[in-house]
Amino acid sequence: MSEKGILYTQQEARLFFDLLRPSPGDSILDIGCGCGDILESCIHKGLDSTGLEPSPVMLDMAFERLSHRANLFRGYAEDLPFDDNSFNHASLFTTLEFVSDPRKAIEESFRVAKDRVFIGVLNRYAIKGLQRRIQGFFGRGIYAKARFFTLWELKTMVRELAGDVPVTWRSICLFPEPGKPVSCSPDTWPLAQRMPFGTFVGMVVTLKPRFRLRPLALPYPSESRYKESLTGFAAETQKKYRKDT
C-alpha cells in the first residue's frame, strides 16, 4: 500500500472508533470485511470480531492476515446468516458501494446489531468521489460498478428503516499542502469534520432496543379435567350450585 493509502486507512479507522466508541469485549460484525483491515483494528482494541465477505479470494486474504483471531464467514450483506441482536455492533465500512441492494444491507445490519451500527461511505459529492466516478465510467479499477452515496441519502434510508434514532456523523476532508500531495484534516481542523462534502463520511446509528416476542403457552386444565379433580366440600358445593341454578 502506498504512503497515501496508509494515510487514508489510518484516518478512516480513527474516525470509525471515534464515532462507534466500542468497549473492550464488545462483539462486532464487519459486513463486507474485505481483506480484514478494520477487523484487525477491532482485534487490537479487544473486540470480539466477526467478518463476513462474499468473495472467497478476499476471505482467504483475511484468514492469512488474521488467522483464528476473528470468526470469518462467507455471505452477503443483504442476507446475513445471524440471528437478531447477535452482536453489540455492526459495520458497513465502504460496503454499500458494492452491494446489490444497499437499503436491504442497512436493514440487515440493524437487525443483527443491538447497540450501534457504523456506516462509512465514499462521498459522491467529494472531489475524490468525482474522480472515482469518472474512473468507473470508463470501466477502470474496482469502481467500475460502484455506487456512491451522499450524507443526505444515508440519513434518509436510516430514518425510513429505524425511525427517529440518534445519528452522529463526521467526515474526512483532504486538502493539499505546500510540498505535500495531501493532508488529512480531522486532527487539525475540527470544523472540517462537519463538512458534508468530505472525501469519506462516517455515520453511527444508535439503535433502539428491540425484543423478539413469542407466544407463551400457559397450562390450564380443561373443564372435564377440572370436574374430575373436585372432591369433598368442593364437589358438594358445585352440585348445590348447579341445583340452585
Residue type, 52: L
| pTM: predicted TM-score of the whole model, two decimal places | 0.75
Phi, psi for residue 158 in degrees, rounded to 5: -65, -45
Model confidence pLDDT, tens digit, residues 71-93:
999 999 999 999 999 999 999 99
Q: Which residues pair with 71 in a beta bridge?
A: 50
Model confidence pLDDT, tens digit, residues 169-191:
998 876 544 455 444 444 444 55
- How far lies 228's CA from each of 27, 222, 232, in Å? 55, 10, 12
The alpha carbons of the chain give a radius of gyration, in whole angstroms, of 27
Q: What angle do CA 58, 102, 150 make, to 5 degrees?
A: 105
Phi, psi for residue 2 in degrees, rounded to 5: -70, 165
Crossing angle between the packed helical segments 37-44 and 3-20, to the nearest 10 degrees: 50
Pairing of strands 27-31, 180-184: unpaired
The structural domains of the chain, ordered by start, are: 3-206 (3.40.50.150)
List the chain residues with pLDDT less than 50.
129, 133-134, 136-138, 176-178, 181-189, 220, 222-230, 233-234
